[in-house]
Amino acid sequence: MESGIGEYCGLFGIHDVEHAASLAVLGLNALQHRGQESAGIVSSEGSVLHRRIGLGLVGEVFPDHESLQLLPGRSAIGHVRYSTHGASDYRNTQPFRVVTKDGELAMAHNGNISNARQLRAELERAGVIFQTTTDSEIILHRMARSQCESFVDRLKEGLSGLQGAYSLVFLSREGLVAARDPFGYRPLAMGELEGRTVFASESCAFDIIGASYVRDVEPGELILVNGEGLQSQRIAPQRRPAHCIFELVYFSRPDSKIFGENVDKTRRKLGKALAFEADVDDADITVPVPDSSNTSALGFSRRSETKFELGLIRNHYVGRTFIAPEQKGRTERVKLKFNAVEGVIRGRRVVLVDDSIVRGTTMNKLVDLLRKAGAAEVHVRITSPPVRYPCYYGMDFPDPEELLANQHESLEEIRDAIGADSLAYLSLEGMLRATEKDPRDFCSACFSGCYPEPVEGIDATIDNGKADSLMDHGDAG
Amino acid sequence: MESGIGEYCGLFGIHDVEHAASLAVLGLNALQHRGQESAGIVSSEGSVLHRRIGLGLVGEVFPDHESLQLLPGRSAIGHVRYSTHGASDYRNTQPFRVVTKDGELAMAHNGNISNARQLRAELERAGVIFQTTTDSEIILHRMARSQCESFVDRLKEGLSGLQGAYSLVFLSREGLVAARDPFGYRPLAMGELEGRTVFASESCAFDIIGASYVRDVEPGELILVNGEGLQSQRIAPQRRPAHCIFELVYFSRPDSKIFGENVDKTRRKLGKALAFEADVDDADITVPVPDSSNTSALGFSRRSETKFELGLIRNHYVGRTFIAPEQKGRTERVKLKFNAVEGVIRGRRVVLVDDSIVRGTTMNKLVDLLRKAGAAEVHVRITSPPVRYPCYYGMDFPDPEELLANQHESLEEIRDAIGADSLAYLSLEGMLRATEKDPRDFCSACFSGCYPEPVEGIDATIDNGKADSLMDHGDAG
Amino acid sequence: MESGIGEYCGLFGIHDVEHAASLAVLGLNALQHRGQESAGIVSSEGSVLHRRIGLGLVGEVFPDHESLQLLPGRSAIGHVRYSTHGASDYRNTQPFRVVTKDGELAMAHNGNISNARQLRAELERAGVIFQTTTDSEIILHRMARSQCESFVDRLKEGLSGLQGAYSLVFLSREGLVAARDPFGYRPLAMGELEGRTVFASESCAFDIIGASYVRDVEPGELILVNGEGLQSQRIAPQRRPAHCIFELVYFSRPDSKIFGENVDKTRRKLGKALAFEADVDDADITVPVPDSSNTSALGFSRRSETKFELGLIRNHYVGRTFIAPEQKGRTERVKLKFNAVEGVIRGRRVVLVDDSIVRGTTMNKLVDLLRKAGAAEVHVRITSPPVRYPCYYGMDFPDPEELLANQHESLEEIRDAIGADSLAYLSLEGMLRATEKDPRDFCSACFSGCYPEPVEGIDATIDNGKADSLMDHGDAG
Amino acid sequence: MESGIGEYCGLFGIHDVEHAASLAVLGLNALQHRGQESAGIVSSEGSVLHRRIGLGLVGEVFPDHESLQLLPGRSAIGHVRYSTHGASDYRNTQPFRVVTKDGELAMAHNGNISNARQLRAELERAGVIFQTTTDSEIILHRMARSQCESFVDRLKEGLSGLQGAYSLVFLSREGLVAARDPFGYRPLAMGELEGRTVFASESCAFDIIGASYVRDVEPGELILVNGEGLQSQRIAPQRRPAHCIFELVYFSRPDSKIFGENVDKTRRKLGKALAFEADVDDADITVPVPDSSNTSALGFSRRSETKFELGLIRNHYVGRTFIAPEQKGRTERVKLKFNAVEGVIRGRRVVLVDDSIVRGTTMNKLVDLLRKAGAAEVHVRITSPPVRYPCYYGMDFPDPEELLANQHESLEEIRDAIGADSLAYLSLEGMLRATEKDPRDFCSACFSGCYPEPVEGIDATIDNGKADSLMDHGDAG
């Protein structure tokens, strides 16, 4: 089973409006940063569902008005997906649409079921046929097999017993449904457009269609929207949430509100906290890795009182550009994407701010780009702690042994590996305090190894000694 | 004849290297901002030329290694093109490849021939068949018809008599040729890669392949590169150049060097000059229209001592995304592309910095976006004067009557039209002084109406009174 | 549920050879006449199955060597499909590939399950999710849910309880399986290629790869081929078969052997029998509707001693050619496909031989074409009885009320409807005696209304009086 | 220069009807056998021409009604093209559309200009740019350069001086033009549809749209059709024509009328003449190579009184099907296309009738197929003489040394090479007498080496001794 598939996704759902599918296209466009590999929409005309999916960007799968003609109806759900698996597999493209005893049913999923292996094995033993290799399909089979009376009860029974992360939207003749796992790992917000209900992973999808943010779908909540209005139910009793801190640090758009917080504001505070913990004394300029670190670098530069400069330019057209094998010695992917502005960099002591280091390969090349452009010094500052542990809730990190922080014994060695003059990570505590919530409301397992719930086949009592030791050095960077 | 086609382009050429076409792909990627409608490469194996062109981004036309297998050879030229004409016409995609008495000949052109109509009519009368509606084809016919002895002389005779803007690269069995019109309207630089010669519209195309900038192809210069080395000739006697100031203000990439200047540096000075001329006294924040105005907004914020903030987020995935007719009332193109960061904007007095206003429709929506996000005030500052006159040298402005500055009698009316609290343009003089050259070395006809050379069918003695009067108000904004 | 889907198909399977997929491409090419809408191949490398499917002809889905690179392995199954449903649905394209407790499993089906509705409802109630609207998927779910110990027993349990027609090939880590329903409605032959086992709907698929015909898969037989050899099992006890007579009359290729008979020989005998029953006394020439009636027309001409002439020419390129709405008055599909050879037809008394009349629209136009080309008389002779009843076993006839023979009270009226000077059908008895088997070994329900087994929701005791009365007139035509 | 391109084509033109382009699609469909590589249509709305071309079949280039929406207007010309050159070159796809002093002008060409090399060199020296590698473009340049007063005179001046074969249709604001070279090598017929004029290569294109054949465009005639009616002019004085005999033998459709003759009738006579010259005494059956030899084989079988049998089945779906490299030992192209009907062939003495032998590779495999199917004897009979000389007028034979008849010294050796029990070709005289015209009205240079006009760079006084000697053996076969 390919674990990890189904992560890095964006969801959209809308109920009872004219031209629901064309609104879904707009919403998915705003969520495109959450997944560029495939896109899909299912629209509903009562009991008949229509589906169009494809590989590529939203604008490629839905290139013109005609591509929406086969998606009539007043309700729709949509999905964008990113996958790290080279061969993009058409089978796994969402929303799924199946036929059950409830008639046609469509579903889109953002997250990762952490006990998928066990659930899948149980279902297979019972004779279930799987069409895809995704966790998401498990949810559908569990629902279809429920013998509860009502549709909502069948959905709830299907969700019970799932572990891990799921933000979900469903479409059927019963209406539009949104649901979120009890820990609320992944975001899912509810909005309102002229009296109608909208759901989306991030609020920027509301802005684009002129809808307004109402509230989050609560962790452990299931909301059914149909002709009789809006009905909220609990899947599980209330508990302390475990929102993914990485969504705030890196993944979401700065103009979005997620987990009830303005991403931009949090990201700026992360930069400030980092400057507080690990300023660079004689630096001339603070340079972000564009665009994801722009806001935190602004925060850093304010607090550290070094000038904010756009010393790296990003080429936004590269997309699926390839590099011919014969040019691989000469040019790396990072050079396709970034170029240094020599007039800004030459002779300067540079603080380069980024949100995270995973494998470290990109950071290494960026430092090199800056040096070649004449930087006098390059000091790397990261607005999160070292990533050292796998995520079972939907972030698709490489294997632990490929993580830069696991390949080296000390911060000094990591610094050396990326070629910087100094390096500092933001501390776990500093990161969590930059949010507006109780620090305990977040999952930071990828940094700390402390998982909110036990994980199938994993011994959760991980030794955190190493992570802490890296942190100790953090201030000294 | 469709005037205006052939403008907004990027050129690349490389001589005598292994895998020339795959280097051209990289170079064109770096020049993608100069044209996203079509891309093409011609490679040369001596007397045989190979060609691949297509509509779309470089990465779409050359999606994989296989797409380069039919482009063997050690020399190549490439072209990216933008056209404002809805129906993209395959015929006009460059580089062109034709067969003349010199054998196969390929050419790519950036610019606009201002006496094309007359030249074309002459050729048609003589029995010439035109395959395209581009100016560029005229050049080829003039060359082919020349009865001069040598290839270079035939090229030169072909170019003589042309008026307007042309940066050109050619490929034939005689070698790689670069040429530039006597006014040097459009950029064209020469670089060096391990002893071999490269040409590109901007130096960022050198950076991506590890080549270094040597010098510009001089205005009025023709350079032939072949096995015998590099041979430079003059097309026309030396004269004062007329570089397009708009390339520095808006069009080129900030990490490029063009006309021998760092774009980033000039753009920053434009921002500072604007702050000097038209600061906003009690503003809280300076916000750029991303990404083209980022650098000048940084300059403005430094000089005006208001905080630089990224208050508008740009969605880089929109590309060819369409808006369904039924959503046109709800969402405009500008909302697909930009969103305001409410946490940054709310309650603030905002200076919005942009590089130019053409039709004014985008600016109007941006001001509206900021107001809806809660801006207390919105002050618009433009790092160039009002665009009022057509460009005959390759910038594709709309008809003069569609230009915002021509639709209103006063700066106050324009301000009112875009809905801003105040508005100021940078003065012509302020703009030209921000460069490192003699102000007289630039063409600023789109602002001033003063054209460097007489234009076919146009009375050049335009009354500049109105432009000046707008400028007068500039300082008061 | 769309009944009727899954019919008109061709199957291929091969075990333990190098480049199994490229042999499958050849085999499917030979079976292309059995379905032109979609094609697909699944190949096996032990427990991993690879799949490529697509809409269009085999040569379009597998256009080059590269398209086979993702289908490695030494075993493969393939499928071509025809569907009468306008909007071709990707979901229904075979072979299917699913994951069950047996690992990856692929299946391709030719036939139609006549109790599908009831079986599907049962499965849905138990919580089964359907991905397609095909009968074929039912088979997979029934197998997956079996709790029998061995793979073969699970397959057998899955097949038990099915009614109707199924020729099947499966691929899994257990090996290659072929199975055929107890009545043997659809053909399925076993061949041998250098000691390896091959299965195909018709023997012409063996010829193309140099394999030789061994025997038919028996009705009610399941054959498992794997490393341990070939294992044959019975699904159901032996009984009298009910081979589809229409396969011999029209559907199969004349160079094939099916049901152990040479199609060409049977078809020639049909023509002779028709001439015996309903010769045309003073006819000049016998003309076939090419190509399906060529052989039977030859038989007719021999027996009736009228000259065989190719008076209709078929344009084989029409494929998916469309007719613009504005030309529909002027040209019909039949004119795109057929043209009369005036030099042959003019002044002649023509016997036009065809294999069957379904709706009668084509026949009407063909008679018209011949008259316009100057035919003195047109006598239509059909090598089968009138089609009057639905097929529940895989032939996709239109609704009974659309069948020409059901729209008219007498043969005379039908003759009048098609505009012929005389009309005769071959009698049921004459048709069945043209085969080499016991007439009772065939299903001729579409002609007689006598179904081999009771059909879900259908009262089988249909009044056959009308069919007989048409037959009575047959001889008088 | 790639000689040979531009041959094997079909033409269509229609004037002043509603939906001209959709009629052109139908007409090109009927002419599809004349070229399957590319298709194109140009339609006219007075002075504006619209063009759509593409690689593939007519039904692929014009797949739906929408594909015709961009081809408005009441006149249209169309073209289908076949090229033997592997890499299909988009540049050469017709109709061409260019801009000259006459405005937009489109042209489609069937034939081959035999003095193209010299004409092209003259034009290149004068400075003409060539866009394609086709002969056809030469015609356009010659017209465009003419300084005659009227459009028709310019066309005529353009055509004067051309040698070789050209059937042409033009479209411009002046009207629809058809023209044919003075020898009338290639067919071009004029028809009438409800009072409007139609042109097509073969009359079968008239049948499909309900038009009727009027007469041929005369050799050396140019016809202009516009609002003022139909105007006929002579390009050159009347002379003895030289129609391509191969059009009747092989290339045209049997239901067509070309050169005023019914193709079917001539082809039947060819078969009879062959049986007269070279019957096989004890043969059991006559088998055609389908479909092109069906008619002549019928003729042979009648005269020789052996039974006509369809012993080879042709798979019409193969189209662009490829054979994977690994299967090339096992299966040849001929097996993809043809299969023997064993029940017909086994134990029989077979006469295999084909229209011509070029390289002989196919015939060799067909004989082999028949032997493997159990033929007792295989006697090959060809309805034309051995092909030994190049065609300069549009038939694309391989190089002379690749022609089977040039690789062997005697008929016996050829027979041996194809593996037949006996072999006979129809004599030149027998072939020519099978037509309805004076034998001297045909070009049979590919058989005889006697060219109707001197060919550029070729010594026409070829020794015909060898051809004759092969003929002598013909009767003995």
Q: Which of B185, B209, B239 is the last residue of a domain?
A: B239
Amino acid at B137: E
- Per-residue pLDDT, averaged over C8-35, amounts to 95
Residue B459: per-residue pLDDT: 58
Same domain, B200 and B312: no
Same domain, C44 and C177: yes
Within a domain: C447: no
* pLDDT in the model for residue D466: 41
pLDDT attached to residue D473: 33
Same domain, A217 and A93: yes
**Same domain for D375 and D458?**
yes
Q: Measured between alpha carbons, how far is D230 from D214 in angstroms, rounded to an integer?
A: 13
At B398-449, the pLDDT tens digits run 889 999 999 999 999 999 999 999 999 999 999 999 999 999 999 999 999 9
Q: Do D343 and C262 touch (CB under 8 A)?
A: yes
Residues 148-207 of D with CB under 8 A from C: 204, 207
Residue C246 lies in a domain: no
Residue A457 CA, distance from chain mean position: 24
Which of residues 252 through 291 in chain B touch A, CB cutoff 8 A? 253-255, 262, 264-265, 291
**Residue A383 belongs to some domain of the structure:** yes
- Structure-block tokens of residue B274: 């604007």
C125 in contact with chain D, both atoms CB, cutoff 8 A: no
Q: Is A147 at the interface with chain C, CB within 8 A?
A: yes
Mean pLDDT of C161-185: 97
For residue D395, the model assigns a pLDDT of 83
* Closest-CA distance of chain C to residue D59, Å: 4
Q: Which residues of A touch C48 (CB under 8 A)?
A: none
Q: Is A131 on the interface with C (CB under 8 A)?
A: yes
pLDDT for res D86: 35
Chain D residues with CB inside 8 Å of B145's CB?
A: 126-127
Q: How far is D208 from chain B (nearest CA, A)?
A: 32
Nearest by CB to residue A127, choosing from C124, C125, C146, is C146
pTM: 0.85
The residue-averaged pLDDT of D186-204 equals: 97
Tokens 């590529």 found at? A56
Structural domain contains residue C182: yes
| Domains in chain D, number | 2
Per-residue pLDDT at B352 exceeds 80: yes
Strands C221-226 and C212-216: unpaired
CB contact under 8 A, D255 and C341: yes
User: Is C334 near chain D, with CB under 8 Å?
Assistant: no
**Contact D63/C322, CB-based, under 8 Å?**
yes
pLDDT of residue A89: 59
Q: Please report which confidence band the pLDDT of residue D459 belongs to, taking 50, 70 and 90 as the band edges.
A: low
Residue B272 pLDDT level (bands cut at 50, 70, 90): very high
Of residues B30, B262, B331, nearest to A208 (C-beta): B331
Q: ∠ CA B20-B96-B184 to the nearest 5 degrees?
A: 85
Per CB-CB distance under 8 Å, the chain A contacts of B210 are 330-331
Catalytic annotation on C446?
Answer: no
Q: Which of A100, A128, A135 to mutate to test the interface with C (most CBs of C within 10 A)?
A: A128
Please report whether residue A4 resides in a domain. no
Alpha carbon distance A286, D431 (integer Å): 90
The reported pLDDT for the residue numbered D89 is 59
Instruction: Say how many residues make up chain C.
Output: 477
- pLDDT at position D332 is 78
CA dihedral A439, A440, A441, A447 (to 10 degrees): 80
**Phi, psi dihedrals of residue A334, rounded to the nearest 5°:** -65, -30
| C334 and C417 co-located in one domain | yes
B230 & B131 share domain: yes
The string of pLDDT tens digits covering residues D403-454 is 999 999 999 999 999 999 999 999 999 999 999 999 999 999 999 999 999 8
Single out the catalytic residue among B9, B204, B391, B446.
B9
C133 touches chain A (CB under 8 A): yes
> What mean pLDDT is predicted for residues D330-344?
89
Residue A96 C-alpha, separation from nearest chain C C-alpha, in angstroms: 9
Q: Do A131 and C101 touch (CB under 8 A)?
A: no
The answer on B180 and B52 residing in a single domain is: yes
As a whole number, mean pLDDT of residues D332-360 equals 94
C209:D327 CB<8 A = yes
Q: Encode burial over A375-387: b for 16+ CB neighbours within 10 A, e otherwise.
A: bbbbbbbbbbbbb
C101 vs A contacts (CB less than 8 Å)? 124-125, 127
pLDDT at res. D90 = 65
Contacting chains of B (3 CB pairs or more, <8 Å) are A, D
- Considering the domain architecture, whether residues C142 and C271 belong to the same structural domain is answered as no
Residue D308 has pLDDT above 70, yes or no: yes
pLDDT of C205 above 80? yes
Residues of A identified as active-site? 9
pLDDT band at C437 (very low <50, low <70, confident <90, very high): very high
The 3-state secondary structure of chain B, one letter per residue: CCCCCCCCEEEEEECCCCCHHHHHHHHHHHCHHHCCCEEEEEEEECCEEEEEEEECCHHHHCCCCHHHHCCCCCEEEEEEECCCCCCCCHHHCCCEEEEECCEEEEEEEEEEECCHHHHHHHHHHCCCCECCCCCHHHHHHHHHHCCCCCHHHHHHHHHCCCCEEEEEEEEECCEEEEEECCCCCCCCEEEEECCEEEEECCCHHHHHHCCEEEEECCCCEEEEEECCEEEEEECCCCCCCCEEHHHHHHHCCCCCEECCEEHHHHHHHHHHHHHHHHCCCCCCEEEECCCCCHHHHHHHHHHHCCEECCCEEECCCCCCCCCCHHHCCCCCHHHHHEEECHHHHCCCEEEEEECCCCCCHHHHHHHHHHHHCCCCEEEEEECCCCCCCCCCCCCCCCCHHHCHHHCCCCHHHHHHHHCCCEEEECCHHHHHHCCCCCHHHEECHHHHCCCCCCCCCCCCCCCCHHHHHHHHHHCCC
Pairing mode, strands D189-193 and D212-216:
antiparallel
Q: Is the pLDDT of residue D272 over 90?
A: yes
Least Cα separation, residue A105 to chain C (angstroms): 10
C262 interaction partners in chain D (CB closer than 8 Å): 341-343
Residue D1 lies inside a defined structural domain of this protein: no
State yes or no: pLDDT of B370 exceeds 60.
yes
Enumerate the H helices of A58-98 as residue ranges. Answer: 58-61, 66-69
Question: At C231, is the pLDDT very low, low, confident or very high (cuts 50, 70, 90)?
Answer: very high
Q: Write down the pLDDT at residue D2.
A: 27
Closest by Cβ to C125, choosing from A101, A130, A141: A101
* Pair C302, C406 in one domain: yes
Give me the residues of chain A with pLDDT under 70, please: 1-7, 83-91, 458-477
Q: Are residues C222 and C304 in the same domain?
A: no
Q: Flag whether pLDDT at D369 surpasses 80.
A: yes
pLDDT per residue as tens digits for the range B116-167: 999 999 999 999 999 887 888 999 999 999 999 999 999 999 999 999 999 9
- Report the DSSP pairing between strands B338-340 and B312-314: antiparallel
pLDDT band for C89, please (50, 70, 90 cuts): low
Nearest residue of B to residue A298 by CA position? B309
Q: Which chains touch D (3 or more CB pairs under 8 A)?
A: B, C
- Contact between C353 and C288 under an 8 Å Cβ cutoff? The reply is yes
Burial string for B174-206 (b: 16+ CB within 10 Å, else e) reads: bbbbbbbbbbbbbbbbbbebeebbbbbbbbbbb
Quick one: pLDDT at residue C318?
79
Cβ atoms of B443 and B244 within 8 Å: the answer is yes
| DSSP-based three-state secondary structure for A27 | helix
Distance from CA of C219 to the nearest CA of A (A): 27
B295-304 mean pLDDT: 97
CA distance D223 to chain B (A): 23
Give the minimum alpha-carbon distance from B12 to chain D in angstroms, rounded to a whole number: 23
Mark yes or no for CB contact A147/C124 under 8 Å.
Answer: no
Give the structural domain span for A99.
9-239
- What is the ipTM for the molecules in this complex? 0.90
Question: In the predicted model, what is the mean pLDDT of residues B193-198?
Answer: 97
What values do phi and psi take at A442, rounded to 5?
-115, 150
Give chain A's count of helices (H) and strands (E): 17, 24
Q: What is the per-residue pLDDT for B90?
A: 65
Residues 6+ apart with CB under 8 A from D230: D197, D223, D224
**Sheet containing C96-100: which strands, arranged edge to edge?**
C96-100, C103-113, C164-172, C175-180, C221-226, C229-234
Q: For residue C271, list chain D residues with Cβ-Cβ distance below 8 A.
A: none
CA distance C258 to A328: 57
Cβ contacts (< 8 Å) between B325 and chain A: which residues? Answer: 65
- In 3D, which of C71, C73, C78, C75 has the Cα closest to residue C30? C78
Q: Is the Cβ pair A29, B316 closer than 8 Å? A: no
CATH number of the domain residue D381 falls in: 3.40.50.2020
| C262–D315 C-beta distance less than 8 A | no
Q: Domain boundary at C239, C272, C292, which?
A: C239
Instruction: Identify whether residues C294 and C323 lie together within a single domain.
Output: yes
pLDDT tops 70 at residue B85: no
SS3 C43: strand
Residue D155 in domain: yes
**D130 DSSP 8-state letter:** B
Tell me the CATH number at A41.
Answer: 3.60.20.10
Which run of H or E residues covers position C36? none
Q: Which chains form contacts with chain A, at 3 or more CB pairs under 8 Å?
A: B, C
C234 lies in the same domain as C295: no
Three-class DSSP category at A178: strand
Instruction: Let me know if residue A257 belongs to a domain.
Output: no
> Which chain A residue is nearest to residue C133, measuring alpha carbons?
A99
Last residue of a domain, one of A239, A274, A296: A239
For residues B55-68, average pLDDT = 90
